[in-house]
Structure 1
Amino acid sequence: MTSPAPFPFERLSRRPDVEGPDLVASDAADRLILDESADLRAAAPAGSIAVIGDTHGALALAAAHDGARDVRVHQDALAGERAISRNAAELGLDDRIRLVPLDADALRDARVVLLRLPRALDALRDIAALIAAHASPAVVVVAGGRVKHMTLAMNDVLGENFGRLDVSHARQKSRVLFAREPRAGHEPVPAAGREGNLEIRAFGGAFAGARLDHGTRLLLAHLPDFPAGGSPEDPLIDFACGTGAVAAHLALRHPAAAVYASDQSAAAVASARATAAANGVAERVEVVRDDVLTARPEASASFIALNPPFHSGAALTERLAFRLFADASRVLRPGGELWCVWNSGMRYRGDLERLVGPTRQVTRDAKFTVTVSTRR
């Protein structure tokens, strides 16, 4: 009997997500999760496998390659979600997987859940509670990651919602946790915080949680008193909005302004909508899930605020910011302004000059720099 061909991990691509020598579409942790779950997946009925945190499709597509059908897969980042769709089409497996939001239907009656462990404990807590609430009582969660990013606190978080936890041997600097016997779970509820008159809401995994990070606090303190724009056709834009703190601040400070908030993270978008609602400005803050500002036409904005990310998963990279700078330039009108806060060690000023236009420093402290770039 001929053995099936091994899954072609080497054919997976990160596109349209950022790529580079230090940015990979799959790793040893994916392979360990798949090996440790092989028997469970083989015994699982069709439609009973769910995958969470599968950055570019290694887990879901390998499961489909091995014969699984109707595999539900959730990826928080929209660029990653699109990479999964692209990889599925390239491998002829797009009819075997289904991209889903992280909700009750994503996990209903699931017997096997493959999970790439998120680095944020609050994200893991939300995921574990949702699995426990909606998966089959017989579910087995096979959760793995790189050992250097795993902590004993992850075991404790899983233990809040599962009665049994087992740990695999490490292999190639990766490890797997098996969670069984789900207890009564619950729907995720955003954490709540307050800074001055600003209410902040954050679902698990949203950057900085229900508080202002230092960079955003510095940016808010130096935004212009009278930013250009603010009409529905030319809204004030909070780009890579995270929890939506900047968008809510703009809406509170400028009561007649329309505000547009965009992020590729599903958790961030849900958080930003909750933040807008908590501040009573939801009617004036439009929040969208988008990879960069694709939904915005060229030369359609006079003001954009941006706190760019510089991590892709665990990897530190400048490439994320470069994509955002370039698309902000596309969307800005001539003379429009990009107000940006960035870790001073990233030295972005030259890149902002090149990609957007003349750039001046507004303020700088020990860690962060705020600049304003004017579109040529």
Structure 2
Amino acid sequence: MRSSRLTLALETGAVVLPGDGPLAIFRPHIGDDLSMFPQDRVRVVQGFKPDHDHFAAQGYAVAVAGAGPYAAAMVCLPRAKAEARALLAAAAAQVAPGGPVIVDGQKTDGVDAVYKELRALRPVSEALSKAHGRLFTFAAGPDVSGPGLEDWAAQPTTIDGGFQTLPGVFSADGPDRGSVLLAQALPDRIPGHVVDLGAGWGYLSRAVLARSGVKKLDLVEAEAAALECARLNITDERARFHWADAMQFHPARAVDAVVCNPPFHAAREADPAIGMGFVQAAARMLQPGGTLWLVANRHLPYAATLTTLFTEVEEIGGDSAFRVIRAARPQRARR
């Protein structure tokens, strides 16, 4: 969908790229086709590890954060409004004054609202509508007709408990209900080496480190911004931080326990396969007597995967929307 709008915009002259200089593409995802841009000029800015690695494997120069100056940039709008604003502010600041900032997004992700907001702040091109989305441009740099986008720049927020978060990280306004339920259900003692799989900004990790017996904790998180928040929120010397895809993470040795509140959306629709992948990864990294502590939405079909992978599976808590599960003794012979 994105590629069809980009191709049309370039073919019709709705978007004209500068003749030379680097082109930044902010937050493209697996499946986005960037072949209409000259690859040697493209700089992909992506902090989500699976997407980062995907474009790096295709030969693109990839960085977690933009460094500018760029001749032009494209922002692939995310659904979260605060994150979208922060990306637009970063692109406007890092593109050379007068250079084009291309904005592309789906209507279901709020591109119409962003277009309206930007038009109130500065001159914006007419929008090209195609494939249930919109593409438009504005010029980077200060504009005499109104304020810039400085107020949209990403700013850290301190929430209850003294945790620091950033726009776009999951549950940036406070811990989600599932994580709270899982933290409450954890036993008083968790001995040995623990992995927080999909650690986010560190809420569950702090709960784990408050239990007796923990000797080492690995925080595994695919979103670089969330992991940077976790580094600030978790200062215990037992903690180690890993920017990694949870489903690809392999500890040096089998671990004693895994705690996990896996995501279940890759886009707008629920995708149970993501959570099942986290469960499978947990089973692989646990020692024979190890334990997984998991929270999941009640409607997600994890039961068959859990009973296939673990000898002991029991529900130990939750509410009407979530279930907290203890799964122990991975069945290695059956995987």
TM-score by length of 2: 0.86
Match of 1:176 in 2: 135
Change (3 A) 1:255 1:44: farther
1:121 has 2:121 as partner: no
- Measured after TM superposition, the shift of residue 348 of structure 1 is 1.4
Match of 1:79 in 2: 50
Match of 1:274 among 212, 219, 232: 232
Match of 2:4 in 1: 31
1:166 has 2:125 as partner: yes
- Between the aligned partners of 1:228 and 1:199, the Cα distance in structure 2 is 26
Match of 1:228 among 185, 191, 199: 191
Asked if the contact 1:219/1:341 (under 8 Å) is kept, the reply is: yes
Asked if the contact 1:122/1:204 (under 8 Å) is kept, the reply is: yes
- Measured after TM superposition, the shift of residue 41 of structure 1 is 6.9
- Deviation track 1:78-112 (CA, whole Å, cap 9, x = no partner) reads 112222233x2xxxxx2xx3111114x1xx12232
- Between the aligned partners of 1:228 and 1:45, the Cα distance in structure 2 is 60
Amino acid at match of 2:275: A
Match of 2:205 among 247, 266, 271: 247
Amino acid at match of 2:133: S
Amino acid at match of 1:304: V
- Deviation track 1:261-286 (CA, whole Å, cap 9, x = no partner) reads 1111222222222322xxxx253322
Change (3 A) 1:209 1:180: same
Identity of aligned residues (%): 21
The size of the alignment, in residue pairs, is 322
Match of 1:289 among 220, 237, 243: 243
- Between the aligned partners of 2:99 and 2:210, the Cα distance in structure 1 is 45
Q: Which runs of 4+ in 1 moved over 6 A?
A: none
Change (3 A) 1:36 1:275: farther
- Measured after TM superposition, the shift of residue 253 of structure 1 is 4.5
Match of 1:321 in 2: 275
Change (3 A) 1:167 1:316: farther
Asked if the contact 1:298/1:332 (under 8 Å) is kept, the reply is: no
Match of 1:307 among 261, 265, 270: 261
- Deviation track 1:234-267 (CA, whole Å, cap 9, x = no partner) reads 2x22111112111122224559743211111222
Amino acid at match of 2:226: A
Match of 2:145 in 1: none
Change (3 A) 1:248 1:172: same
- Between the aligned partners of 1:59 and 1:138, the Cα distance in structure 2 is 26
TM-score by length of 1: 0.77
Structure 1 stretches of 5 or more lacking a match? 1-27, 89-93
Structure 2 stretches of 5 or more lacking a match? 142-147, 331-335
- Between the aligned partners of 1:69 and 1:249, the Cα distance in structure 2 is 46
Match of 1:337 in 2: 291
Match of 1:208 in 2: 171
Q: Secondary structure at the match of 1:209?
A: coil
Amino acid at match of 2:156: P
